[in-house]
Structure 1
Amino acid sequence: MKKKRPSLQDVANQVGVTKMTISRYLRDTSQVSTALRSKIAIALDKLGYIPNRAPEILSNATSKAIGVLLPSLTNQVFAEVLRGIESVTDSHGYQTMLAHYGYSSEREEFRLASLLSYNIDGLILSERLHTERTLKMIEVAGIPVVEIMDSSSPCIDLAVGFNNHDAAYQITKEILKSGHSKPVYLGARHDERTIIRLQGYEQAMREFGLEPRNICTDRPSSYSLGCELLKEALRRYPDTDSIFCTNDDIAIGAAFECQRQKLRIPNDMAIAGFHGHDIGQSMEPKLTSVLTPREEIGKVAAQRLLARLRGETVTPKILDLGFTLLYGDSI
């Protein structure tokens, strides 16, 4: 059974002031005397007071909350994005309301409806493909929206990211220039970014006069999936001499499988990943990968969203933060 929370009146009684004085303190501590601030802070701490935001939300005042929709809570990429977001929102007095939708546009729609019911002030989305109802709800809500992780697809309002197509194109060219002519693309989830990277890989292959080959699945990424995808690539394309993986998890799993099969990296099998995680830079041989600015994307997305909430004009609509090729020893 839910316990009764301490009220403003309880705090006021503890300090010996009116409820209005406590309310003024909670809105802005400078509105009460210095002597009272200390007494109120002690009372709030002693009683374990939890502010009730419901009246403020119901009155259509700002909720001081930002909705954040992420496709995965276990993926290190989005953990770093969230860290960047909260480094900005925390310092500006905003709370993040987090929802997870598992790469499902239908579940994203459901989670968004829930977030909007709390009268959030703004929204950060991780995808560009949404259901019609999701787009309609965003239109009706009339709040600023920032979409992240890509800088080439059209956006609803604002976007912050990098060019997934160009990153995949560039690293595939590095594989081919290193002398490996039979690279296979390994992908997971079948989400938009995985498909865009596949297209970048395919462009590079065709420019070199080679036929693109891929092994893709809708299963979530993991080290074990990387092992399985490499085995499938070798079964389907026995002459495979290199792989480009949609993320580092798959690349590292594939590297483990190479060790099991006594395949030398990069002599027998070159491997390139994506995102430049620390584990790939700590393995031997060091993983060649694409370093993406995940935390910076979160920071900039939050900064742009808060600027819009202040009524500022934010340009350009789509901001490309770029990427860096990490030259390891795996190709």
Structure 2
Amino acid sequence: MRNHRISLQDIATLAGVTKMTVSRYIRSPKKVARETGERIAQIMEEINYIPNRAPAMLLNAQSYTLGVLIPSFQNQLFADILAGIESVTSGHNYQTLIANYNYNRDSEEESVINLLSYNIDGIILSEKYHTLRTVKFLRSATLPIVELMDIQGDRLDMEVGFDNRQAAFDMVSTMLDKRQRRKILYLGSKDDIRDEQRYHGYCDAMTRRGLAPLRINPRAISSIHLGIQLMRDALTAHPDVDGVFCTNDDIAMGALLWCRERQLAVPEQISIAGFHGLEMGRQMIPSLASVITPRFEIGR
């Protein structure tokens, strides 16, 4: 039999129970006697039955579904976060609806509205800065909201993250004090609030030591290729730079590759540091110095 032709009554007849018992088992297996539940489950397995959850999502207050918004499918950072989220949801019979908004707040707004239409039980956001309309819809939904990767500024409900400014300050301070660098340049990417926080942390470390901040920020989505271009531009404009702090590991890996191609010894001649501690950066030669962020744990 095909799934769309199978009814709850069909399963009830085959299992020797009532239709109501089958319905109760599908909604809450623990509310049905163990032997009865095993019999129903066996019948469902034999006939390849997949429950239609749409009616329950409309009728019940709980849909067992969470909405998750991420700004990019191409960034390993968010793959790690999703893995952390699903390490918990899978054990609690929850499903995730994932939307990608490509670092565009208007697109995020549209995705939030679409996800809310599915009667989700909660929503997880990858950042804390949204359009006013997005905030209005989220507050009206009266459901749990979690914002990730940042603890600066106001929050809608709950937040899980770290202080980007302090983390950048600590890394640049280490480069200045332990590596004895005097001219460190900041390589950014797009116009992003977390990038700005890291830049301010970099500036804090530089100005505290009486050093002038230097910045190249093309307002472009980060990539290894962009890092190669930025490093070339940086050393063309500032040939005496002896350190580079990058807003993320993609940029830093590109910078490292450019130095290797030009036979500039890292870290002997120039120090390079990134942000997030991605696995690919750790496997490079030499291994990339980076601020390690607990992405899986943040998602979990």
| Fold conserved between structures, TM > 0.5 | yes
Structure 1: runs of 5 or more not aligned: 300-331
Q: In the aligned structure 2, how far is the partner of 1:216 from the partner of 1:285?
A: 25
Residues 5, 50 of structure 1: 8 Å contact kept: no
**Which deviates the most, 63-72 or 276-285?**
276-285
Taking structure 1 as reference, are residues 31 and 161 closer, same or farther at Cα in structure 2, changes over 3 Å only? closer
Q: In the aligned structure 2, how far is the partner of 1:261 from the partner of 1:290?
A: 25
> Number of matched residues?
298
Residues 185, 243 of structure 2: 8 Å contact kept: yes
Q: In the aligned structure 2, how far is the partner of 1:194 from the partner of 1:10?
A: 57
Q: In the aligned structure 2, how far is the partner of 1:77 from the partner of 1:223?
A: 14
1:260 aligns with 2:261: yes
Query: What do residues 224-283 of structure 1 show as CA deviations (whole Å, max 9, x unaligned)?
Result: 111111011112222222110111121111111111111111122210111112222222
**Which deviates the most, 200-209 or 4-13?**
4-13
Cα deviation for residue 60 of structure 1 reads: 4.6
Query: What do residues 47-82 of structure 1 show as CA deviations (whole Å, max 9, x unaligned)?
Result: 222222222222252111111111112211111111
Quote the residue 1:251 is aligned against.
252
Query: What do residues 283-304 of structure 1 show as CA deviations (whole Å, max 9, x unaligned)?
Result: 22222111111111111xxxxx
Cα deviation for residue 4 of structure 1 reads: 3.0
Moved over 6 A (4+): none
Greater relative contact order, per chain length (Cα 8 Å cut-off, separation 6+):
1
Quote the residue 2:26 is aligned against.
26
Cα deviation for residue 137 of structure 1 reads: 0.2
Quote the residue 1:111 is aligned against.
111
Quote the residue 2:136 is aligned against.
136
Residues 6, 50 of structure 1: 8 Å contact kept: no
1:88 aligns with 2:127: no
Taking structure 1 as reference, are residues 114 and 202 closer, same or farther at Cα in structure 2, changes over 3 Å only? same
Query: What do residues 201-226 of structure 1 show as CA deviations (whole Å, max 9, x unaligned)?
Result: 11111111121111112322221111
Cα deviation for residue 94 of structure 1 reads: 1.9
Residues 6, 48 of structure 1: 8 Å contact kept: no
Quote the residue 2:202 is aligned against.
201
Q: In the aligned structure 1, how far is the partner of 2:85 from the partner of 2:155?
A: 19
Quote the residue 1:316 is aligned against.
none
TM-score (norm. length: structure 2): 0.93
Taking structure 1 as reference, are residues 31 and 122 closer, same or farther at Cα in structure 2, changes over 3 Å only? closer
Q: In the aligned structure 2, how far is the partner of 1:202 from the partner of 1:31?
A: 59
Quote the residue 1:98 is aligned against.
98
Residues 146, 157 of structure 1: 8 Å contact kept: yes
Q: In the aligned structure 2, how far is the partner of 1:127 from the partner of 1:163?
A: 13
Counterpart amino acid of residue 152 in structure 2: S
Percent sequence identity is 48
Q: In the aligned structure 2, how far is the partner of 1:248 from the partner of 1:163?
A: 17
Structure 2: runs of 5 or more not aligned: none
Q: In the aligned structure 1, how far is the partner of 2:135 from the partner of 2:112?
A: 10
Q: Trace 1:266-277 onto structure 2 (pairs within 5 A).
A: 266-277=267-278
Residues 3, 49 of structure 2: 8 Å contact kept: no
Q: In the aligned structure 1, how far is the partner of 2:30 from the partner of 2:53?
A: 20
Taking structure 1 as reference, are residues 173 and 32 closer, same or farther at Cα in structure 2, changes over 3 Å only? closer
